[in-house]
Chain A
Amino acid sequence: MWFEDIPLGVKLTLGSYTFTEENIIAFGKRYDPQPFHIDKDAASHSVYGGLIASGWHTAAVWMKLMMAERHTRVAAGAEETQENYVSPGVRELRWLKPVRPGTTLTYTNETFAKLDWKSRPQFGLLEGKNEARDEAGELYYSFINRVLIARKP
Chain B
Amino acid sequence: MGEAELLHFEDFRSGQIFRLGRLTLTAEEVIAFAREFDPQPQHTDPQAAKHSMLGGLAASGWHLGALAMRMMVDGLFIRATSMGAPGVDEIQWRRPVLVGDTIRLEGEVLDTRLSSRPDRGFVRFRFSMLREEERRNGELVMMFVCSVMFRRRTTG
Contacts and interface: CB of A to CB of B under 8 A. Distances in A.
A60 B93 contact: no
Interface of B: 33, 36-42, 52-54, 60-63, 65-67, 69-70, 73-74, 77, 82-94
Contacts of B88: 93
B93 A94 contact: no
B103 to A, nearest CB: 14
Interface of A: 27, 30-34, 36, 47-48, 54-56, 59-61, 63-64, 67, 83-96
Contact of A31 (B42, B67, B89): B67
A48 B84 contact: yes
B67 A84 contact: no
B92 to A, nearest CB: 4
B38 A60 contact: yes
Contacts of A55: 84-85, 87
A93 B69 contact: no
Nearest to A88: B93
Contacts of B87: 55, 92-95
Most buried by A among B66, B70, B83, B90: B66
